Chain A
Amino acid sequence: MNTEQIQDIRTAERCSHCQDLLRVTFSDSDGNQFCCHGCLSVYEILKSNGLSRFYDIQKQLNPNDIIPTGDESHKKFDYLKDETFLRDYITTQNRQASMSFYLSGIHCIACIWLIENLQKIEPSIDHSRVNLSESTVVVTLKENQFDFSRVAQTLSQLGHTPHPLRHNDDILKLSKKEDKSQLLKIGIAGFSAMNIMLYTGSIYAGADSSTSQNFGFISMALCSPVVFYSALPFYKSAIGAIRNQSLNIDIPLALAVILGFIFSCYFIWIGEIHHYFDSIATLTFLILLSRFGLRKVQKLTLSKDNLTDFFSTVTIKKVKKISNPTPTEIHPKQLQVGDLILVEPGEMIPADGIIAQGETLLNLASLNGESQAIPFRTGQPVLMGSVNQSNNIIILVKSIGDKTNIGKMIKELSHQFSKSSYYTLLTNQIIKYFVSTVLLLSASVLIYFSLLGEFTIGLQRSLALIIVSCPCALGLATPLTFTRMFNLARKSGILLRNEEALEKVSRIDSLFFDKTGTLTRGTFEVSHFDILQEPLIKEVSIEDLVFSLESRSTHPIAKSLKNWSLSRRENLTNISWESWQETIGVGPEALFKENVYALRALNGSTDSLSTQIGLFENNQKIASFKLNDIIRAESSEVLKNLRATGRKVYLSSGDKKDQVAAISKELGFKEGNYRAELSAKEKSEWVSQHPLSMFIGDGVNDTLAFSKAYSSIAVNGSVELGLKVADAFLIKDSLTCIENLFKISDQTIKTIKINLIISIFYNVFGAALAIAGIVTPITAAILMPLSSASVVGSTLWFTRERNGTNGNH
């Protein structure tokens, strides 16, 4: 008997491509080691095309960046050859065609360098240009070349899945236009504010009256573009609020700008040297700037409304007839009801429909959370999101996109999430009271003084009141706080859906974890194997047999067995079987030189955390494998720290009882704090018993539980879909981010509260001074920037990056 154990995980060796720690090793002919076949193939592509500098740039400039792993699926992207499809996607100039792609996984300089040198790998490319802010690349082909499928293949092999972008996408264009116009407004407001200050400064310094008046006219001229152009968004939003019969922060802002400007003009006209022009311009500039910052940060989380975009990573194989199953690959946008599509093992079904031919096992985990695959037969209806696990099937499409079952569910969920949360409501309430109080007060001041016969004084004081009590803290500090915190969260590996998502987190008192893929890595690995007997045929090894048996299967267990064989031997022979078949739910079986080989699950596994597989030769066991789903290294530590904060931690799983019990024991879940064999519905019911719960799960698979939980985090899957169904998405594959999220959320709430207090204090003080008549334009000019500075200062101070948000206290 020959027992060996795979190397311990914590050896310091790293993959030559992605720098990840090596668990399973693949070697190339030069002795470089890799963590997976994807990395190995990217390395080889780069090496054979003279692009090995990629690794120098990567190491030299930013050793901590994540490098995408190569994609092994070998998609063909046939639709990128199709003329009718290309019409909407390419632009041509001088007979050179260009096309934009959205690329996943470009973060660093090495990626930019590699993608801009793509012509060395794919000679039909003339040049390509990356836009890192938008994660897009524009690829231009050489003259008279129109085949973008090879470009897409190359990108996909390098690990950057390409999503073609329409060249006249309205939403994209509109958002760009909006960005530009906001930037122009900010630029003009800034220019005016700074120039006006020069002239106002000399007025305050005591310039003589004729100079002062001339300076006043110059200031008026400089201020008018601010009032008539830069401040337009305030007016629009104020009018919108009045139409809806509600109050918002833009109403006093708009009033301050318009009234301030009119009366300043009047003051200048009558020869009074003081005016509010500088205050108006500075206020507009600062508030526009902080709003622009927030908009930019929120845009980073990429919100696309079209559901089909999520599935554009899936390439759909369309077939013409059942009798003629030669597929052509099409883009999800080309898919229509009534089409016949081929779904191969390992692929997700991209639409709701009926099986037109074939029978297979489908995994419905994304729909009901059950990890056990269910057999389906010709004529049975299937749902989008199910994963095909065993055989080729042809599906007749019945509904697509938003009209499918899961599409409806996600759409509903997106609506649910637009509900406001506590702090937003609180802030809105405060704004309403605040605005109505200011308006009432200034009106009564005006009426009071007019009754006394002092109309001009009344006018001046009520104007001073509106300008001085302009809610800077609410208008400026809150967006700034969120901007800073979103960036901080992103740095520590979390993408947030919106502001509410961040506020909600600090109120959470119980956390529900999913097991597979969340607390565990979700991939099986061979931890033990026994070779009982060498195969009868001398020229093949156990590894050859395992690899060849599983070579056509895409089941996770098959994958890990293939990896095991690859890591054991460099030159495997792929045996050409005389016959091969996979029985659903059992495993593959094949014939070679009159011997029958099969892989089957072994009954009576002794250890409940693992699965055991046997290799059989003519029904006699010749080798056995033990596969484990490995618990994440950080899980136990993170759970411990979360418990220490006084929050309750639960484990909810759809897996078998003994498995869950074993893992709970290891991670310290007490009896009653974990439940096993839960369906998706039972999970969501359990979660909804806790009003302030957070569900941490596996992306789309836990959609139902996400919808019932107060807050949610998606750990795996695509970013777009993750943020559609959950409040937050982990971009780093580590649970420690969750700990950080709690700290960041607490910090945010604290900062917002402090800013509210400062601004309330300031406004009460300012209002009192204004009514007493002490606030003249000069005091307003001092008080306003001072209040802005104080809230900005407190925001920057309280949102600063602390050691605590990146590690332990």
Chain B
Amino acid sequence: MEIIKLLIPLALGLGACFLGLFIWATKSGQYEDLDSPALRILIDDEENINNELIQKRNSK
């Protein structure tokens, strides 16, 4: 059971780390807009689309 003396502070420390991250994320305003980032990622960059088109043409 000696190992518990190491594990508990470790577990609490990890938990506290994530809590700290959460507090930081909240304070820096990352929860203010939950909708647009989720959609924004679906838009392809125009350069990528052009590259794909060029690749397709080349392969033909």
Contact residues of A with B, CB < 8 Å? Answer: 53, 57, 61, 108-109, 112-113, 116, 130-134, 176, 179-180, 183-184, 187-188, 191, 195, 198, 211, 218
User: B39 contacts which chain A residues (CB < 8 A)?
Assistant: 61, 108-109, 112, 132
> With A130-B36, A218-B8 in contact, do A183 and B42 touch (Cβ < 8 Å)?
no
Whether A112 and B26, one on each chain, are in contact in the complex, defined by CB atoms closer than 8 angstroms, is no
> When the two chains form the complex, which single residue of B1, B26, B32, B46 contacts A133, counting CB atoms closer than 8 Å?
B32
**8 Å CB contact of B34 from A108, A116, A133:** A133
Contacts known (A180-B26, A195-B12, A218-B8); A112 close to B40, Cβ less than 8 A? yes
Contact of B26 among A53, A57, A61, A184 (CB under 8 A): A184
| B1 shortest CB reach to chain A, Å | 7
Given contacts A180-B26, A184-B23, A184-B26, contact A113 B36 (CB under 8 A): no
B residues near A218, Cβ cutoff 8 Å: 8, 12
Contact A180 B27 (CB under 8 A): yes
With A109-B39, A134-B32 known, 15 other A-B pairs at CB within 8 A are A61-B39, A109-B40, A112-B40, A112-B43, A113-B43, A132-B33, A132-B35, A133-B35, A134-B33, A176-B32, A180-B27, A184-B26, A187-B19, A187-B26, A218-B12
The distance from the CB of A121 to the nearest CB of chain B, in whole angstroms, is 15
- List which B18-55 residues lie within 8 A (CB) of chain A: 18-19, 22-23, 26-27, 29, 31-36, 39-40, 42-43, 46
Judging by beta carbons under 8 Å apart, are B43 and A187 in contact? no
| Nearest B-chain residue to A296, judged by Cβ | B34
- Chain A residues closer than 8 Å to B19, beta-carbon distance: 187-188, 191
Known: A112-B39, A133-B35. Contact between A187 and B22, CB under 8 A?
yes
Subset of 11 A-B contacts with CB under 8 Å: A108-B39, A109-B40, A116-B40, A133-B33, A133-B35, A134-B32, A176-B32, A179-B31, A187-B19, A187-B23, A191-B19
Closest to A222 in B: B12
Q: Quick one: closest B residue to A176, CB to CB?
A: B32
**Neighbouring A residues of B35 by C-beta, 8 Å:** 132-133
Q: What are the 10 tightest A-B residue pairs by CB atom distance, in nearest-first order?
A: A132-B36, A132-B35, A109-B39, A131-B33, A133-B33, A191-B19, A187-B22, A133-B35, A183-B26, A113-B43
Point out the residue from A134, A183, A191 that lies within 8 Å of B31, measured CB to CB.
Answer: A183
Give the complex CA separation of A61 and B36 in angstroms: 14
Interface centre among A112, A179, A218 (most CB of B within 10 A): A112
Quick one: closest A residue to B49, CB to CB? A53
> Complex formed: what's the CA distance from A139 to B8 in Å?
49
How distant is the Cα of A180 from the Cα of B31 in the complex, in angstroms?
Answer: 8
Q: Do A109 and B42 have beta carbons less than 8 Å apart?
A: yes
Nearest-neighbour CB distance to chain B for A228, whole angstroms, equals 15
* Total number of B residues with any Cβ neighbor in A under 8 Å: 24
B residues near A134, Cβ cutoff 8 Å: 32-33
Assembled-state Cα–Cα distance A132/B4 (Å): 47
User: In the bound complex, how far is the Cα of B37 from the Cα of A431, in angstroms?
Assistant: 41
Nearest-neighbour CB distance to chain A for B9, whole angstroms, equals 10
Shortest distance between the CB of B44 and any CB in chain A (Å): 9
Q: Is the CB of B36 within 8 A of A112?
A: yes
Task: Kindly report which residue of chain B lies nearest to residue A116, judged by CB atoms.
Answer: B40
- Chain B residues, Cβ within 8 Å of A187: 19, 22-23, 26
Contacts of A133 in B (CB 8 A): 32-36
Chain A: CB-nearest residue to B38: A132
Closest to A106 in B: B36
Q: Tell me how far the C-beta of A799 lies from the nearest C-beta in chain B, rounded to whole angstroms.
A: 22
Q: Which of A109, A184, A188, A195 neighbours the largest number of chain B CB atoms within 10 Å of its CB?
A: A109
- Residues from chain A with a CB closer than 8 A to the CB of B42 are 61, 109
In the assembled complex, the CB of B42 is this many whole angstroms from the nearest CB of chain A, namely 6
**Bound Cα distance A477, B8 (Å):** 35
Chain B residues contacting A188 (CB-CB under 8 Å) are 19
Cross-chain contact of A57 among B18, B22, B31, B43 (Cβ < 8 A): B43
Q: Determine the chain A residues whose CB is within 8 A of the CB of B18 once the complex forms.
A: 191
Tell me the minimal C-beta distance from A61 to chain B in angstroms. 6
Q: Please tell me if the beta carbons of A131 and B43 are within 8 angstroms of each other in the complex.
A: no
Q: B15 — nearest CB in chain A belongs to which residue? A: A195
Chain A, residue nearest B27 (CB): A180
In the bound assembly, the distance between CA atoms of A188 and B36 in angstroms comes to: 26
| Complex Cα spacing A179 to B18, Å | 20
Q: What residues of chain A lie closer than 8 Å to B40, measured between beta carbons? A: 109, 112, 116
Complex CA gap A347/B22 in Å reads: 50
Report chain B residues within 8 Å CB of A198: 11
Measured in the bound complex, the distance between the Cα atoms of B49 and A113 in whole Å is 15
Q: Which residues of A contact B15 (CB under 8 A)?
A: 191, 195
Note all chain A residues with C-beta closer than 8 A to B4. Answer: 211
Q: How far is the CA of A538 from the CA of B46 in the complex (A)?
A: 52
Measured between alpha carbons, how far is A131 from B36 in the docked complex, in Å?
6
In the complex, chain B residues whose CB is within 8 Å of the CB of A176? 32
Give A179 to B26 CA distance when docked, in angstroms: 9
Among B11, B26, B31, B34, residue most surrounded by chain A Cβ atoms (within 10 Å): B26
CA distance A191 to B23 in the complex (A): 11
CA gap between A112 and B42 in the complex, in Å: 11
Q: Do A211 and B34 form a contact, CB below 8 Å, given A112-B40, A180-B26, A183-B26?
A: no
**Shortest Cβ distance from B5 into A: residue:** A214
CA distance A53 to B40 in the complex (A): 15
What B residues does A179 contact at CB under 8 A?
31-32
List of A residues within 8 angstroms of B32 by Cβ? 131, 133-134, 176, 179
Q: Once the chains bind, are A109 and B26 in contact (CB under 8 Å)?
A: no
B34 to A: closest C-beta gap in Å: 6
Q: Compute how far the CA of A191 lies from the CA of B16 in the bound complex, rounded to whole angstroms.
A: 8
Expressed in whole angstroms, the minimum distance between the Cβ of B15 and any Cβ of chain A is: 6
A46→B35 CA distance, assembly (Å) = 25
Closest B residue to A131 by CB, please name it: B33
* A198 to B7 CA separation, bound complex (whole angstroms): 13
Q: How far is the CA of A334 from the CA of B26 in the complex (A)?
A: 36
CB-CB under 8 A from B34, the residues of chain A are: 133
Which of chain A's residues have a CB closer than 8 A to the CB of B36?
112, 130-133
Q: How far does the Cβ of B19 sit from chain A's closest Cβ, in whole Å?
A: 5
Query: Among B29, B42, B46, which residue has the most Cβ atoms of chain A within 10 A?
Result: B42
Given the complex of chains A and B, what is the CA–CA distance between A195 and B18 in angstroms?
12
Nearest Cβ in chain A — how far from B28, in angstroms?
10
How far is it, in angstroms, between the C-alpha of A732 and the C-alpha of B52 when the chains are bound? 38
Taken together as a complex, chains A and B put the C-alpha atoms of A183 and B18 apart, in Å, by 15
Bound together, the chains give a CA A763 to CA B20 distance in angstroms of 38
Which residues on the A side are within 8 Å of B1 (C-beta)? 211
Q: Using Cβ atoms and an 8 Å threshold, which residues of chain B touch A180? A: 26-27, 29, 31
A108 and B38 CA atoms in complex are apart in Å by: 11
Q: Whole-angstrom distance from the CB of B38 to the nearest CB of chain A?
A: 9
Q: Which residues of B contact A61 (CB under 8 A)?
A: 39, 42
What are the residues of chain A within 8 A of B11 when measuring CB–CB?
A: 195, 198
State in angstroms the CA–CA spacing of A755 and B21 once bound together.
37
